[in-house]
Structure 1
Amino acid sequence: MESGPGRVGSRPGSGPDARRIARGPAQGPRPGHAARWPCPVCRPHVSERAVRVRAAPASPRRLHHPRPPRFEAEKWLESVCGHKPDWAFLVPTQIQQVWDARPRRELRTACSSLRLFLHSSAPCPPQLRHRLAAALGPERVAEYYGTTLYDGTFSPYTSRGAGGSPLPETELRIVDPSRRPVAAGTQGTIEGRSRAGLISHRTDQPCTGRSEWQSVGDLGKRIKDTDHVEVTDVAVPGRAIVAGVKVAVAETHDTLSAHPAVRGCEIRVSPHDRFGSVLSAVVHTEDPALTTSVLRTWCAQRLTPPQRPHAIELRRTAAHDHTTLREGHARL
């Protein structure tokens, strides 16, 4: 499982604040960059490993703030102000929301405890990254790249040149469509493998990696005469990054198509200022009783918020009638 965005970390503690941070699905990390869950399962967090190995090796333990069902910038800032964490991890769309929530001076004060502000999931727009570094200090900003299949790279804002260097026990390569490695500077598909434990397992079993090369379809290139890898595109065909979460468009399509009153549907991916991109649906039906509200309830019972259509257009088709109903945007 990939580490979720909206996380904050703090030094180990045993007071009420530490217990309060640790509540929720992730009950706090175990030593060795793993989170403890209510069930006896070890789920490593790759973004935490990046912090532990490269940014804060002297503080191997972290307490994660529970990830809410919907990210809210003001609540995130309240949490940072209240708990004084060492580091925080957000995706670019969330960083933009935080940036828009408060004046620059207030943001600097609210984030004063952070030694590291880590962003990931998608390449951060250069203008936003530069503003963030100007507000917090360039030495406190870094980018992490990784996936649910392999660990990745860590790139401080102050590093020279493009791309990031692989984390220890991580191998990355760039390949062509035939999975043959390509020359430095040539764009191709990123493949990786990690000897670090990134596989969920029972706590009485050892953490292990996978020896085979794996990929999620992201594109990148290796920087000549370095070990750096630059990620150039994470827009994998058939997938969309919604509010920092990569979702499969086919899952939304199949879920809507499974409704007994739906005769067909199309799913579209559109850019969005706040969420990066969103899904919208055009649904065809012959049932006069079907409404967009019914479809929203259907989706809410089967899909996560990023997977649900941001807007639904309902097209009714009958022998002598053709009408179109449009609904306002949903909240993620």
Structure 2
Amino acid sequence: MSTHPVPLSAILAHHARQAPSRAALVLEDIAVSYGELDARSNRRARLMAAQGVRRGDFVTVALPNGLEFYETVFSIWKLGAIPNIVAARMARPEMEAILDLVRPRLFVGTPPGPGVPVLSAEAGELDRYSAAALPEAVSPHWKAMTSGGSTGRPKVIVDAAPAMRDPAEGFLCQQPGDTILNPGPLYHNAPFHCITMGMFSGATIVEMGRFDPLRALELIERHEVTWVTMVPTMMQRIWRLGPEVLSRFTLPSLRMMLHMAAPCAPWLKEAWIDWLGAERVWEYYGTTEGTGSTIISGVDWLARRGSVGQVRDGYAMKILDAEGHECPVGQVGEIFFRPDCGVGSTYHYLGSTARRIGEWEAPGDLGSVDEDGYLYLSDRRNDLIISGGANIYPQEVEAALEAHPGVKGSAVIGLPDEEWGARVHAIVQPVEGGAPDEAELLAFVADRLTRYKLPKRIEFTSEPLRDEAGKVRRAALRQARLEEAAEPETADVSRRASSV
């Protein structure tokens, strides 16, 4: 096995030589070998090259999970280009804003409108291109993921690492040759990063396409999955299957279930630890920017309930107060990271700027550390809503609501949700005499926002939603609704906690 980096343009061929019969992908019980995936992506790379893609170009990929997605991403690396991953069903204004930032050489998927250079391939056209190996090429940046900025405007996070990887080096306790289930959408950074890293070390990826809780458990047992990453929403949906269903699954092959991307309710995590064992349930906290991260095992979590772990090797972490002074143990402040290779060494933004104090950079979260350096998260520094592991910025949703002529003002907040972690709740002040109803307003907003950002409920009010300075009072609005809900929910929460 190699102990030195291999260009991602050649990594499929490397694994095909090492283990010719090993499956790279399993989709709907159909296995695709590393050699077959290599040949298919060679053909697709030549098609892209014929349409002008060269080393260093961005190629925007707007495809659902599936064989075409994997073929496309590896074909981009084969040309030394940079995959820019976006949601296949992203709302047109968001997609156009990202394309304005990236200016891709090619767009793969359904374009948002005319004037976008789209990959054209008729049925059977790929067969006209050779499947032979291409010259090795190394992209200057192995990925460019998309996210919302602090104002809700899209930003692109361009990874500083070139497209090289040591196939013998597992990522986050992955091991060469693992069988990994992918239950998540690949346009999110966490599944994209974890799944491709697994393939770089020769894993077999069992691709779900779309998450279903019972099917996830069935796939883990049928294919003897050893490693999986989930978001707490998925954990919640699996747990809701109930003890009669869960008792049928012991998942003996599963070495590691790693959850990330959103806070996990302590009762839910404890339930999973009781089910699978503390040594198999892990948690990761980190940034798409690669500036810092922490990790914790279930064993350590039981000793430090609520922690997300210690900072990983290669990074440093500080908790700073509002004046930029380091906080003492146990005091909540803003989290700052610094990679050992230096500030700005892991990524650069298109469409945004980093929030830094000297050589330290903030991901936007608040937290504290104990005397052993274990981190405990408290809240977001801003009003970001994390629902099902996806980031939703209130200002973006408010802008879509306020584009309706019947809306005078709006405030969007996140309220607790057992399944999603948080749900989008919109409070709308309508214009006098022209108020839309909830269904009409939701339909209006659905044309402007990606589906997961849509409000779960719209509440109408005649009260002003901004203070004298013109700022939305989101924190006060959220607190008022939490207090209104607290009394009737108290008994239910107590019953639920006692049953876990």
Query: How far apart, in 2, do the equivalents of 1:54 and 1:223 lie?
Result: 23
CA distance in 1, matches of 2:413, 2:184: 31
> Who is 2:23 aligned against?
13
Task: Check if 1:199 corresponds to 2:344.
Answer: no
Where structure 1 has 5 or more consecutive residues not aligned to the other structure, the ranges are 1-10, 202-210, 317-332
Change over 3 Å in CA distance of 1:231–1:17 after alignment to 2: farther
Summarize the Cα distance change of 1:22–1:165 in structure 2 as closer, same or farther, 3 Å threshold: farther
Q: Secondary structure at the match of 2:426?
A: strand
Where 2:299 maps in the other structure, the secondary structure is coil
Take 1:23 and 1:107, find their aligned partners in 2: how far apart are those partners?
32
CA–CA distance in structure 2, aligned partners of residues 44 and 65 of structure 1: 21
**AA paired with 1:300?**
A
C-alpha separation in 1, matches of 2:230 and 2:237: 10
Deviations 1:217-258 (A, max 9, x none): 31222332x3x3312313434222222223211211112112
What is the Cα-based RMSD across aligned positions, in Å?
Answer: 4.1
Could you tell me how far apart the structure 1 residues matched to 2:214 and 2:427 are? 33
| CA contact 2:401–2:410 (8 Å) conserved in 1 | yes
Name the structure 2 match of 1:230: 375
Corresponding residue number in structure 1 for 2:174: 56
Question: Residues of 2 paired with 1:83 and 1:73: CA distance?
Answer: 16
Within 5 Å, give how 1:18-167 maps onto structure 2: 18=32, 23-24=68-69, 27=73, 42-43=142-143, 52-58=170-176, 64=182, 67=185, 71-81=211-221, 83-102=223-242, 103-109=245-251, 112-149=252-289, 150-159=291-300, 161-162=303-304, 163=307, 164-167=309-312
Provide closer, same or farther for how the CA distance between residues 125 and 264 of structure 1 changes in structure 2, counting only shifts above 3 A. closer
Counterpart of 1:143 in 2: which secondary structure? strand
Give the secondary structure class of the aligned counterpart of 1:219: strand
Normalised by the size of structure 1, how large is the TM-score? 0.70
Q: Distance in 2 between matches of 1:43 and 1:60?
A: 23
Classify 1:59/1:285 alpha carbon distance in 2 versus 1 (closer, same or farther; 3 Å): farther
Counterpart residue type for residue 171 of structure 1: A
Cα contact 1:93–1:275 (8 A) shared by 2: yes
Q: How many angstroms apart in 2 are the aligned matches of 1:264 and 1:237?
A: 20
Q: Distance in 2 between matches of 1:23 and 1:293?
A: 36
Calculate percent identity across the aligned residue pairs: 25
Structure 1 SS opposite 2:257: strand
CA separation of 1:14/1:237 partners in 2, compared to 1, >3 Å: closer, same or farther?
A: closer
What is the CA distance between 1:138 and its match in structure 2?
Answer: 1.6
TM-score, normalization: structure 2?
0.49
Q: In the aligned structure 1, how far is the partner of 2:179 from the partner of 2:215?
A: 24
Structure (1/2) with the larger helix percentage: 2
Uncovered stretches (5+) of structure 2, i.e. residues with no partner? 1-18, 38-64, 86-105, 107-138, 146-158, 160-168, 188-209, 350-357, 463-500
- Maintained 8 Å contact 2:334/2:381: no
Distance of 1:129 and 1:58 partners within structure 2: 27
AA in 1 matched with 2:143: R
Distance 1:54 1:266 in 2: 39
- Is the 8 Å Cα contact of residues 22 and 64 (structure 1) preserved in structure 2? no
Letter in 1 for 2:425: S
Query: How is 1:175-190 mapped onto 2 (pairs within 5 angstroms)?
Result: 175-190=320-335
Counterpart CA distance in 2 for 1:66 and 1:307 is 17
Residue from 353, 363, 367 that aligns with 1:220: 367
User: How far apart in 1 are the matches of 2:348 and 2:221?
Assistant: 32
Contact 1:174 1:220 in 2 (8 A): yes
- CA shift for structure 1 position 121: 2.8
Residue in structure 1 matched with residue 449 of structure 2 by the alignment: 303
* CA distance in 1 between partners of 2:381 and 2:420 (Å): 17
Distance 2:441 2:315 in 1: 44
Distance in 2, matches of 1:66 and 1:54, equals 17
Which position in structure 2 is the counterpart of 1:281? 426
DSSP-derived class of the 2:359 partner: coil
The one-letter amino acid paired with 1:137 is: G
Structure-1 separation of matches of 2:214 and 2:447: 27
- Between Structure 1 and Structure 2, whose CA radius of gyration is higher? 2
1:21: Cα distance to partner?
Answer: 6.2
Partner Cα separation in structure 1 for residue 401 and residue 314 of structure 2: 42
Bigger shift: residues 248-257 or 232-241:
232-241
| SS, match of residue 360 in structure 2 | coil
Aligned length, in residue pairs: 289
What one-letter code is carried by the residue in structure 2 that aligns with 1:270?
Answer: L
Range with greater deviation from structure 2 (180-189 or 247-256) = 180-189
The amino acid of 2:295's aligned partner reads F
Deviations 1:22-41 (A, max 9, x none): 553784798xxxx9667776
CA deviation profile, 1:24-68 (whole Å, cap 9, x unmatched): 3784798xxxx966777623899xxxx934523545997855618
The 5-angstrom pairing of residues 263-282 of structure 1 reads: 263-282=408-427
Shift of 1:271: 1.8
1:277 partner amino acid: A
Question: Take 1:44 and 1:171, find their aligned partners in 2: how far apart are those partners?
Answer: 24
Q: What SS is found at the alignment partner of 2:250?
A: helix
> 2:325 & 2:313 partners in 1: Cα distance?
23
Quickly say closer, same or farther: Cα 1:153–1:315, change in 2 above 3 A.
closer
Whether contact under 8 Å (2:181, 2:227) holds in the other structure is: no
Q: Aligned partner of 1:108: which letter?
A: T
Aligned equivalents of 1:174 and 1:241: distance in 2?
22
Contact 2:181 2:220 in 1 (8 A): no
Give 1:13's aligned amino acid.
A
